Structure 1
Amino acid sequence: MPNVAKRKEPGEGVLRALYSFALYVLSPFTLYHLISRGFRVHEYFRRWDERYATYGSQPRRPCVWLHAVSVGEVNAAAPLVNVLLRQRPDIRWVITTITPTGSERVRALWGERVEHVYLPYDLPGSTARFLQHFQPSLGLIMETELWPNMLFGCRDLGIPVYILNARLSARSLRGYRLLRPLIGRALRTVKCVAAQSAADGRRFQKLGATAAQVQVIGNLKYDVAVPDCLDAVRAAFSAALARPRPVWLAASTHEGEEAAVIAIHRRLRARWPDLLLLWAPRHPERFARVQALAAEAGWKVGTRRGGHWPRPDDDVFVIDTLGELMAFYGCADVAFVGGSLQPIGGHNLLEPAAVGTAVVTGPHLHNFAEISRRMDEAGALRIGADAEAVGAALEALLADPGTRQAMTEAGATLIEQGQGALQRTLALVAADLPASADELAGAAVTAS
């Protein structure tokens, strides 16, 4: 493992002071952000003390800290956390997110087996209080969350930090250009950047990591676990419909994509009048709006909340719950993955492939460039240049079961070939996990 920067580099103090001063000046806007988001998602009105690292309880024993900004990163971390919870039940886990949906996903996956708090804003005082309170012995940061004061604080306290499943798009690299002198110094304090791909690794080096810090580990998303409930959900779904119907799913859609979903469903129902749309908006604050839009289009709409299933005469079924999307992928003939008709960067394309559903997406895929390229080359993905092309691809696949089957087989093969990042990640961080009781006992015997 490389030697990381344990002392301040030249110029660090000045850059940190300027950065922190700017954050303090802008800190009133954090309240505006929380209030404005709270009118849409009430959870943003709660737990403000965590956002500023003010804790009422006393510090507890040291922990392993994992940060996953939102739902996608929590899902990517899930295989790793699940294995370590089984192997090392003695470890105290603290998992931070930034979004309430990420918080809900943590609770849905692990309940009280882990502790969850929101990551505090990157103010020097807040990061210092967070580290003092939770006393992490190890920090694991998922994907691309680079907060300089937090990283410097870990360095100053001797806390090893790994950036796991690390990805950095060319667009994100350009976005860091103004802060690159500071970010580069902060990046050189981490023990390892476990990159998803060689291209990600090269971009992290351009940002400031040393070649010795970067290891290409692969993408944890390939180690996706099929939900245990998949067969049960499929059976209940089929029983609720009462008859075979064609089904497509629009997943992780954003506000600017909703009109396109309405237009595509209207187009497809002209050919298949009994076609059912399963619709899972990306953000919970859009659940009610999407339901209203579908009703305004003249369709009968059902919702999942409360454990309901589609009724036989539903035209649209809104999945207004969290944590069930992957199982519902398995109920669809073909799925469109959103965040891709706008320059958002796309969302997880492997989940529908893992449950045997053909996948269609739009052109904006910079957050999943490597995965989308590999799926496209393998014949496991259809990429539409715009909403019209996405609709045409969905129509062609609904009409061609043979092509859908070939796509799902190609996707399954690709996922199988891509797996292994989980075991490599476990091996990478093993040396910095807290010592187990047996290891401590052995060390005590050796010392005596």
Structure 2
Amino acid sequence: MNMLPVYRAATTLGSPALRWWLKRRVRQGKEDAERLGERFGHTSIARPAGPLVWMHGASVGESLSLLPLIDALRQRDPDLNIMVTTGTATSAHILAGRLPEGVLHQFNPADSPRWVARFLDTWQPDLALYVESELWPAMLSLTQARGIPTGLLNARMSDSSYRTWQRLPGLIRPLMGEFRFCLAQNPTQAERMAALGARNPKPLGNLKFAAKPLAADEAELARLREEFGTRPRWLAASTHPGEEAIAAEVHASLKAAHPELLTIVAVRHPERGDSVARELRGRGLKVVRRSRGETIQPESDVYLADTLGEMGLFYRLAEIAFVGGSMGELGGHNPIEPAQLGCAVLHGPDMRNFSEVAEDLAEAGGSWQVRDAAGLARALGRLLAEPDTREHQAGAAKQVADAQADMLDKVLAELEPFLAPLRGQARVA
């Protein structure tokens, strides 16, 4: 039974509650107050004339994975209009400094049919590309109902999301069945997409392999390298609650053997900077905060990187990187980013968001898995004491990251049948 009409009716009736919830998120700092209208399908900018490709990603990771694809499309078709939608204020902030000139950003409309229809009436996309598994039923079904070709890029479904959608076949199967193409990250994900109704999903690989190495300000990199000097250091990247405590414990256990050790902690959510600084100082560590422009001193223990969009800087400063989000139940963050920039990679036991990548890195000798603070301390201690081991591991990780350099060409080949008809079109907005 097709449950989409029921869902659309329910979300229409629930619009007042959804509106209240969005305004509450504004008060919590989770929505951009000045752009809240975009969540209701309004826009303050005009649709440009000509064909428009709409790309949608949930948050930072998904949207950043689109950047190399956007660059390639603009090089091939300079007149092609591209709009990216995301759903988080953090992603909008980061994309503001990363999207090429002329590429538009909007917040996606919340999943109420009236708001989605208003969005589609305004933008009239010629092709809609969804990234990973951000599948809002009203938004997707109304797009497909207008005959707009839709495709799923870098498709992946977490274990929990897959189980949830399996219980809702009346919602998911009509949506997946209307995708013109489905490009999955690996064979397992392709099987999941097929089980949920996708037609002929292809295990093309992970689009995040195609991403360029994270950028860094060269002048700031040089300044910090001089400030850091020759001190041995490691990076705890994109950390979540609990992982900063682990980093503090590891630092304390290694300091006797490496008295000049500097630990860089880059929190996933910079708004936690105050609480993380208090926690680390409460453990007796001397903390320097980047967000406050503080300078590293010889006695400094931790450099707290509580800013946005600077991970490329910190990966370049550290020869060893621990991937955060992997010690709890969060599924881990992207290990490709440190691998591309020459880091020896460490991570916890939960890397299900990047399971295939983590397996490839491990098989190549480019990463080690650790289970807890003691295991992380042992691994770090060895890498700090054995430069040859560290360099070998970093080199192996970079080889894995570089091995799928043709990933972008594969995606472009799949998109070509849908892009070719758009070339040379001229349509007045």
Do these two structures clear the TM 0.5 threshold for a shared fold by scoring above it? yes
**1:151 and 1:189 in contact (8 A); partners too:** no
SS across alignment from 1:55: coil
Distance 1:263 1:175, change over 3 A: farther
- C-alpha distance after superposition, 1:112-153 (max 9, x if no partner): 522211111121112111111111001111111112222221
CA apart distance, 1:297: 2.8
SS across alignment from 2:110: coil
What corresponds to 1:302 in structure 2?
288
**Aligned: 1:290 with 2:280:** no
What corresponds to 2:29 in structure 1?
41
Counterpart-to-counterpart distance in 1, 2:352 and 2:407: 21
SS across alignment from 2:4: helix
What corresponds to 1:416 in structure 2?
402
SS across alignment from 1:105: helix
CA apart distance, 1:316: 1.5
What corresponds to 1:129 in structure 2?
118
What corresponds to 2:38 in structure 1?
50
Give the number of aligned pairs. Answer: 425
Unaligned residue ranges in structure 1 (runs of 5+): 1-10, 442-448
Distance 1:204 1:331, change over 3 A: same
Counterpart-to-counterpart distance in 1, 2:147 and 2:160: 32
Counterpart-to-counterpart distance in 2, 1:70 and 1:310: 32
Distance 1:58 1:238, change over 3 A: closer
SS across alignment from 2:41: coil
CA apart distance, 1:434: 6.7
Counterpart-to-counterpart distance in 1, 2:256 and 2:129: 50
**1:237 and 1:310 in contact (8 A); partners too:** no
**1:240 and 1:312 in contact (8 A); partners too:** no
What code does the residue aligned with 2:136 have?
Answer: W
**2:326 and 2:350 in contact (8 A); partners too:** yes
**2:326 and 2:348 in contact (8 A); partners too:** yes
Counterpart-to-counterpart distance in 2, 1:232 and 1:59: 37
Distance 1:271 1:261, change over 3 A: same
SS across alignment from 2:317: coil
Q: Which moved more, 1:186-195 or 1:36-45?
A: 36-45
Counterpart-to-counterpart distance in 1, 2:403 and 2:46: 47
Counterpart-to-counterpart distance in 2, 1:313 and 1:198: 50
**1:333 and 1:357 in contact (8 A); partners too:** yes
Identity %: 36
Counterpart-to-counterpart distance in 1, 2:34 and 2:261: 41
Distance 1:411 1:309, change over 3 A: farther
Counterpart-to-counterpart distance in 1, 2:43 and 2:217: 40
What corresponds to 1:256 in structure 2?
242
**2:38 and 2:109 in contact (8 A); partners too:** yes
Counterpart-to-counterpart distance in 1, 2:192 and 2:261: 44
Distance 1:155 1:306, change over 3 A: same
Counterpart-to-counterpart distance in 2, 1:309 and 1:112: 34
**Aligned: 1:239 with 2:226:** yes
Counterpart-to-counterpart distance in 2, 1:314 and 1:127: 51
Counterpart-to-counterpart distance in 2, 1:309 and 1:53: 45
**Aligned: 1:391 with 2:380:** no
Counterpart-to-counterpart distance in 2, 1:256 and 1:24: 40
What corresponds to 1:429 in structure 2?
415
- C-alpha distance after superposition, 1:261-298 (max 9, x if no partner): 22222222233222111111111321232233223333
TM-score normalised by L of structure 1: 0.87
**1:146 and 1:187 in contact (8 A); partners too:** no
Match of 1:314 among 276, 300, 320: 300
Counterpart-to-counterpart distance in 1, 2:188 and 2:170: 21
Unaligned residue ranges in structure 2 (runs of 5+): none
Distance 1:24 1:298, change over 3 A: farther
Counterpart-to-counterpart distance in 2, 1:141 and 1:114: 17
Match of 1:405 among 391, 405, 410: 391
- C-alpha distance after superposition, 1:192-220 (max 9, x if no partner): 1111111110111111212x2x1121111
**Aligned: 1:222 with 2:236:** no
Q: Which moved more, 1:130-139 or 1:178-187?
A: 178-187
**Aligned: 1:20 with 2:16:** no
What code does the residue aligned with 1:177 have?
Answer: Q
CA apart distance, 1:17: 2.7
**1:184 and 1:209 in contact (8 A); partners too:** yes
